Amino acid sequence: MTEAKHQIGLSVRAANKVYPGTHALKDVDFDVRLGAVNVLVGENGAGKSTLMKVIAGVEQLTSGEILMQGEKVTFPDTRTAAAHGIGIVFQELNLFPNMTVADNIFIAREKTRAGIDIAARDQRAEAAALMQRLEHDISPDAMVSDLRIGEQQIVEIAKALAQDARILIMDEPTSALSAAEVEILFRVIADLKKRGVGIVYISHRLEELIRIGDYITVLRDGARTGARSMDGVDVPWIVQNMIGAASKDFAKTVEHDFGDEVFRCENISLMGRTGKRVVDDVSLSLRAGEIVGIYGLMGAGRSELFECIMAQHPHSTGDFYVEGRHLNEPDVAGRIGRGLALIPEDRKSEGLIQILPIRENMSLSSLGSFVKGIHLSLGAERETVKRFVKDLAIKIASMENPVSSLSGGNQQKVVIGKALMTSPKVLLMDEPSRGIDIGAKAEVFRTMRRLAAEGLGILFVTSDLEEVMSLSDRIIVMSNGSITGEFDGASVREEQIIAASAIGHAPASEAGHVIGSSNG
């Protein structure tokens, strides 16, 4: 890469973004240089996507400013941002599956005659030209729902290209692309650079970043920890800035011995919609009092594994055992009855019923234990909820308030409380620290430790490297649906975990899943 001075096209200064319960961006400075690839990297929840949403006009800053050509600009909505030449390829696909490729590419910017009649032929021609540029033969008339995920991502990229953006944000554009498709995308990016477009590139694949990046900015917990030109940057430098030297407070409190095996799954597989296995022959076991962390990148199949355990996929294959006995129960209620409890990844849509009171949310899974005859004993319910609120130190004004009035951390504790009230033997926690601030995180982690010491087996999923390393007694790494590594929590090194999580993603090794080294 050349060291030629690239002009700064957009800069963000002292950006702060506060959500109820979380401080997502803390005094972040960020520059987008034109004609260059500006890489943004950080763990999940570090604030990358929030920063991009601010630049694209999806979210507004709580404080701080955005400058273009030295002048202050504000983007109250995506339209204004687009008018300033900013295009974005979102991480989640924002396509309309019920419409054609051409319709999607020109959505809300339809080419029209006299402002009314859609110039369908022009749209089709331009869509076809874009596809040619991206070296794909996707028909402009194809329905988006008929496309593979990778092809949908191409359409999403075409949509951004069609805007002729001066600044193009790509949030994990390669997460669903094959190696060959990634090469094509990189050629397109090189071409855009030559045209003077400033590209912001977000990815978890560090080698990829080093290969195409010109500048790099690292975020951690909402703050910028490093920003420089890509020259001389290597993976260890990035990892160091992503994770930091000073560790968060994860101190192991109670040393205790593990009990017998409480949970085991054997040969769990789940077919995805595309015919690829989302969960691929996974077997693992968990002992009482043990905390096992499952690490992996997005789409590694971790959440899907939990969903299989909680009977959400009737078509999954394989066997589960709780305390050595086979798990035959076909539904969630039966599995909760056998001592399994899930804390879902998406608190809002899967964990809580926002409009119901805190009390009713917490007792929802364990109502059976308050029933006398057919009668629900409200007094007993209230007493039990009160006890759990105190145990978990949930800060509430009244347990009759709707759960939506709580901060993220307290909401998460309510979900944990709901799971614990079923007196589980095994706790499945999917991203237990997502979307909650550091203080609440520490409390959740302390709770996990305490529960393990009390003999609960905990299986938790995380994308946070530091979290998995400091919390787990044992670490399992998943990639592309299968287990690619298993490590002892005390002796493992970061590089081993990162390497295992990338198996199957490396450009050359598309064939077969290599099982990584095991030194449990």
Least separation, in Å, of the C-beta of 14 and another protein?
Answer: 26
Q: Is the Cβ of residue 224 or residue 359 nearer to another protein in the bound state?
A: 359
Among 22, 203, 363, 482, binds another protein (CB under 8 A): 363
Pairing mode, strands 277-287 and 261-271? antiparallel
**Nearest-approach distance from CB 349 to another protein, in angstroms:** 6
Alpha-carbon torsion 397, 402, 403, 408, what sign? negative
Alpha-carbon torsion (448, 451, 455, 461), positive or negative: negative
459 binds another protein (CB under 8 A): no
Least CB distance from residue 121 to another protein, whole Å? Answer: 36
Answer for which of 382, 446, 450, 513 binds another protein (CB under 8 A) is: 382
C-alpha–C-alpha distance, residues 148 and 155, integer Å: 11
The two three-digit tokens of residue 171, written as one number: 């949030």
Strands 117-118 and 112-113: antiparallel
State the nearest-atom distance from the C-beta of 19 to another protein, in Å.
Answer: 14
Nearer to another protein, 95 or 406 (CB): 406
Nearest distance, CB of residue 396 and another protein, angstroms: 6
In the structure encoding, which two tokens stand for residue 318, read together? 């394989």
- In the complex, the smallest distance separating the C-beta of residue 208 from another protein, rounded to whole angstroms, is 34
In angstroms, give the least distance from the CB of 23 to another protein.
15
Using CB under 8 A, which residues numbered 293 to 312 contact another protein?
310, 312
* DSSP structure class, residue 145: G
From the list 193, 217, 178, the residue with the least C-alpha distance to 51 is 217
Nearest approach in angstroms of CB 230 to another protein is 43
Least Cβ distance, residue 216 to another protein (angstroms):
38
Task: Say if strands 167-171 and 86-89 run parallel, antiparallel, or are unpaired.
Answer: parallel
Closest CA to 264 of 321, 329, 317: 321
**31, 110, 261, 360: which one contacts another protein (CB under 8 A)?**
360
Please give the size of the binding site for another protein, defined by CB under 8 A.
48
Closer residue to another protein in complex, CB, 121/387: 387
Does position 332 bind another protein by CB under 8 A? Answer: yes
Q: Which of 2, 375, 491, 512 binds another protein (CB under 8 A)?
A: 375
Phi, psi of 500 (to 5 degrees): -65, -35
Q: Is 351 in the site for another protein (CB under 8 A)?
A: yes
Q: If binding is defined by CB under 8 A, does position 439 make contact with another protein?
A: no
Segment interacting with another protein (CB under 8 A) among 33-41, 128-136, 387-395, 468-476: 387-395
Element (H, E) at 68: strand 63-68
How many C-alpha atoms does 337 have within 13 Å on its Cβ side?
Answer: 10
> Closest Cα to residue 271, out of 322, 318, 330, 333?
318
Which helix H or strand E contains 458, and what residues bound it?
strand 457-462
Q: What are the CB-based long-range contacts (under 8 Å, 24+) for 253-259?
A: 253/446, 253/449, 253/450, 253/453, 254/449, 254/450, 254/452, 254/453, 256/289, 256/452, 256/453, 257/289, 258/287, 258/288, 258/289, 258/290, 258/473, 259/287, 259/288, 259/289, 259/455
One-letter amino acid identity for 179? A
- Does 353 bind another protein (CB under 8 A)? Our answer is yes
Of 249-257, 276-284, 380-388, 477-485: span binding another protein (CB under 8 A): 380-388
Among 34, 352, 448, 492, binds another protein (CB under 8 A): 352
**In the set 14, 371, 490, 515, which binds another protein (CB under 8 A)?**
371
Query: Can you list the positions of beta strands (E) in 230-316?
Result: 261-271, 277-287, 291-295
Q: Is 336 in the site for another protein (CB under 8 A)?
A: yes
Cα(227)–Cα(243) distance, rounded to whole angstroms? 15
From the CB of residue 211, how many other CB atoms can be counted at a distance below 10 Å?
12
> b or e along 118-127 (b: 16 or more beta carbons within 10 Å of the residue's beta carbon)?
eebeebbebb
What is the per-residue binding string for another protein in 394-433, x denoting contact by CB under 8 A?
-xxxxxxxx-xxxx----------x---x-----------
Q: Looking at beta carbons only, is 99 or 332 nearer to another protein?
A: 332
Nearer to another protein, 249 or 400 (CB): 400
**Judged by CB under 8 A, which stretch of 43-51, 120-128, 378-386, 436-444 contacts another protein?**
378-386
Interface residue with another protein among 77, 207, 319, 331 (CB under 8 A) is 331
- Should residue 378 be labelled a site residue for another protein when binding is judged by CB under 8 A? yes
Task: Kindly list the residues in this chain that would bind another protein in the complex (CB under 8 A).
Answer: 310, 312, 331-333, 335-337, 342, 344, 349-356, 360, 363-365, 367-368, 371, 374-376, 378, 382, 385-386, 389-390, 395-402, 404-407, 418, 422
